[in-house]
Amino acid sequence: MKILLYNPDNGVTRNFMPHLWMFLLQALTPPGHDVLLVDGNAQPMDEAGIARFVRVNNIGLVGIGAMTRMIAKAYRMADAVRATGVPVVMGGPHVTELADEALGRDGGARHADAVALGEADETWPQIVNDAVRGELKDLYAPVDAAGKERKPSLKQYPVIPWQSIDLDQFNLVPKAAYPLLKKVGEGWGTFRIIPVESGRGCPYGCEFCTVTGFFGDSIRFRTNPSVVNELLLLKARAREEKGQMAVFFIDDNFAINLKRTKSLLRDIIAAKAQVHWVAQISANLLRDEELVDLIAASGGKWVFIGMESIDPTNLKDVNKGFNKPGEYAAVLERLARRNVYAITSFIFGMDNDTVGVAERTLAQVRTWPSGLPIFGLLTPLPATPLYKRLQTAGRLTRPKHWQEFIPFAMAHTPLKMTIQEAHAEVKYGWAHAYSPEALAQAVDSLDDQALGYRVNIFLARLCFRGIYFPMMGKIAWLKVVAQNRQTIFKLVREAFLGRRAQSTNSSVQDAYEDVAAPDVPSEVKI
């Protein structure tokens, strides 16, 4: 049977990275089937397009996965597929929480023939076998023989064949540039960011988060060799295609078990499996100097930190009191001393927020080492404790906000400001953190560093807002380039004069590599 796994675009931005679930389920499909992957962020498709794809490719089963914000599109695409007579199975966090909605048991239309609840690692092979026999059930739940919920162990993690998977749709370098860029340094003909998980679960239970409910509070890890081998596969592929491969460790809290994380990082270093990587780690776990040393030595470049707020009252309100705003600066400085930088995530519209929260937050951010601040609104995702609290308090203004997804729009009333004021705060945050002045300041703050680091922070800031904001067309990009011309000119001039490159003996590529693998012989660096 031919199976299509499809992830819809979110209608606003294009993700920089493919979704792991597709590769994982592809690897877990019983032998004898052909699995095709389409990520709507990389290959935009509409209803007519998916129906055509299904017919032309003679697809026998379509699997669709989606976060809450893409679910309306997911349902529309599922409807289009089902209209061709091909069954649809849906999975992921949203339909796990609201299976009745997907199955049309809540009074609405039915969108899916079957729903995979929770983690589908163990149920997927059964779903495929049932689909072959034409005997799909409505619901598939990961349970043991006694019918008790069972979270899959990650000890027998499948090998994802990264060396042979078609990754054409996930190259961040335009194809036309390949012949030229493959010759730059050790090769920049392709640049891919690949999701890798080393563990699942987070016990912290922040009020707005789906993770603790979905993956459970018991943490499960893959074995170190399994992760290390995956990195080695990715490195080998990058070398072969004369490109670069970076990894996003998508674990919700990569250092949740410090001892395990350190042992994994040591094994990565010992196996010379370093790639440039990003991971999510909560600020409280970054107090550990040895951990931060190992992060830098194993290729860690960026750490995503859910700071959420600089106001302890807000943090307490959302059950995230373990975040201590007073230590944010020290944490970021500890990272920056190793040339590791942070993506710092903030939420506005929290109950103790008042007008001016964006500027107050930015005033703090400006005193910290350069990074990538991001701003969002408090969003009641289905089945989270936040959703239940706001529902009970009668504060939900759009209780089914996902059915008509509006980006950057609140679905409840904040306590100390209006919805419109909260929207304005988020706009202010983005506009001022990514203004030409802010970009210039970020670059200047790294004046004592090699040119590569400054180019890096500049490009990262320039591109980063594209993940959260509508992708810009050519004209918009030209405008951004024009607005930032002084900083660009400064960096280009330095590159040409080679002032810093000579004084520090470091080019852009060198700076990038030095941080990835300071203690490793150069032939193993990527």
Residues lying near ligand B12 in the complex (CB under 6 A) are found at 10, 13, 15, 17-21, 24, 63-65, 67-69, 89-94, 116, 119-121, 124, 195, 197, 209-211, 215, 250, 252, 376, 381, 467
Shortest Cβ 507–ligand B12 spacing (Å)? 30
Contact 352, 380 (CB under 8 A): no
Our CB check for ligand B12 shows the closer of 94 and 525 to be 94
The tokens describing 238, both together, are 């990058």
Shortest Cβ 87–ligand B12 spacing (Å)? 11
Residue 207, contacted partner among ligand B12, ligand SF4, none, CB below 5-8 A by kind: none
Cβ of 32: how many Cβ atoms within 10 Å?
Answer: 8
Distances (CA, A) of 103 to 22, 100, 210, 268, 392: 22, 5, 21, 44, 26
Residue 253, contacted partner among ligand SF4, ligand B12, none, CB below 5-8 A by kind: ligand SF4
What lies within 8 Å, CB to CB, of 164 at 6+ separation is: none
Our CB check for ligand SF4 shows the closer of 322 and 477 to be 322
Our CB check for ligand SF4 shows the closer of 131 and 386 to be 386
Question: What is the total residue count of the chain?
Answer: 526
Shortest Cβ 166–ligand SF4 spacing (Å)? 31
When binding is defined by CB under 6 A, the residue of 97, 121, 197, 252 that contacts ligand SF4 is 252
Residue 94, contacted partner among ligand SF4, ligand B12, none, CB below 5-8 A by kind: ligand B12
- Please tell me the distance from the alpha carbon of residue 423 to that of residue 416, in angstroms, as a whole number: 13
Measured from each CB, the residue nearest to ligand B12 is: 91
Our CB check for ligand B12 shows the closer of 197 and 510 to be 197
- Please tell me the distance from the alpha carbon of residue 182 to that of residue 464, in angstroms, as a whole number: 24
Q: Is 212 in the site for ligand SF4 (CB under 6 A)?
A: yes
Shortest Cβ 270–ligand B12 spacing (Å)? 26
Q: Is 68 in the site for ligand SF4 (CB under 6 A)?
A: no
**Helix residue ranges per DSSP H, 241-374:** 258-270, 289-297, 312-317, 328-336, 357-365
Q: Is 282 in the site for ligand SF4 (CB under 6 A)?
A: yes
Our CB check for ligand SF4 shows the closer of 253 and 487 to be 253
Distances (CA, A) of 357 to 15, 342, 396, 410, 426: 28, 21, 22, 16, 9
Residue with tokens 């007008």: 355
Contact 195, 20 (CB under 8 A): yes
3-state secondary structure 219-258: CEECCHHHHHHHHHHHHHHHHHCCCEEEEEECCCCCCCCH
Shortest Cβ 318–ligand SF4 spacing (Å)? 9
Q: Which chain residues interact with ligand SF4 by CB under 6 A?
A: 202, 204-206, 209, 211-212, 252-253, 282, 306
